[in-house]
């Protein structure tokens, strides 16, 4: 997940009455907006907040320093009357933030990659070609949120348990959880033709990603293996997997 931060830069104007600004929806604030890449959000944050974006005053906010909307931020961080804020348009909220000298960040969630693994072999007439793939994948999407300990989970679910302060939140799974992983062995070759590979895959759990856009014409031979285990299968799945079907 990639953060896009829109930073609103406040420009100070000398005005006689704040209430005149709040009441005038035609007032045009003046500011500049900048977008910058800032990395990957915390894993638990991405699963816990079912939001497309959030607002904050510091670059790397704690959980209690983020707001779902600019309205919520202004209600908490300013002394502007609540009835004024609740009746304001989005444009007027920006004007109010501008007048109050608030410089804020807006972070938008965006997928790091498209989660694609593709390969194609086209052999010329009279030439040989082969594409052999063996893969294993699972995605158990039953998310239980934050639990006190592993035993609080349903057998087929996964969630976070609060570890020590330094380690943060640790993902745990029930005994029948199918897992969250993608593993592949691939061999692609041609004695003469075109070999194409496109890979765009990432892990939200550790932020690692792999991207390749590969094409070769002529003779080619590529053998590769890729393993990405976000959450291992539960203990019982590894032993009696057939009982799930």
70-84, 146-160, 179-193 — which is least confidently predicted?
Answer: 146-160
CA angle 165, 167, 169 (to 5 degrees): 90
Q: In the chain, where are the structural domains located?
A: 2-108, 116-140+178-244
Rounded to two decimals, the pTM is 0.65
User: Is residue 201 scored above 90 in pLDDT?
Assistant: yes
- What's the pLDDT tens digit per position in 6-48? 333 333 333 333 444 555 544 456 666 666 666 666 666 666 6
Name the residue among 39, 37, 36 with its Cα closest to residue 208.
39
Of 25 and 67, the one with more pLDDT: 67
Radius of gyration of the chain (CA): 26
């Amino acid at each position: 997940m990639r953060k896009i931060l829109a930073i609103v830069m406040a420009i100070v104007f000398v005005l006689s009455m704040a209430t005149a600004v709040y009441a005038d929806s035609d007032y045009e604030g003046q500011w500049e907006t900048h977008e910058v890449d800032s990395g990957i959000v915390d894993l638990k944050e991405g699963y816990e907040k079912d939001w497309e974006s959030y607002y904050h005053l510091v670059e790397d906010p704690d959980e209690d320093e983020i707001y779902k909307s600019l309205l919520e931020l202004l209600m908490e961080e300013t002394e502007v009357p609540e009835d004024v804020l609740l009746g304001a348009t989005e444009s007027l909220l920006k004007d109010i933030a501008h007048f109050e000298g608030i410089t804020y960040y807006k972070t938008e969630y965006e997928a790091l990659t498209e989660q694609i693994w593709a390969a194609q072999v086209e052999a010329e007439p009279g030439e040989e070609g082969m594409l052999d793939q063996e893969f294993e994948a699972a995605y158990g999407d039953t998310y239980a949120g934050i639990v006190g300990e592993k035993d609080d989970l349903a057998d087929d679910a996964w969630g976070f348990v609060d570890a020590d302060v330094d380690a943060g939140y640790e993902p745990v799974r029930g005994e029948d959880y199918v897992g969250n992983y993608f593993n592949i062995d691939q061999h692609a070759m041609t004695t003469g033709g075109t070999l194409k590979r496109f890979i765009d895959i990432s892990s939200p759990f550790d932020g690692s990603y792999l991207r390749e856009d590969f094409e070769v014409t002529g003779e080619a031979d590529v053998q590769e293996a890729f393993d990405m285990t976000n959450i291992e299968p539960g203990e019982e799945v590894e032993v009696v997997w057939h009982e799930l079907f």
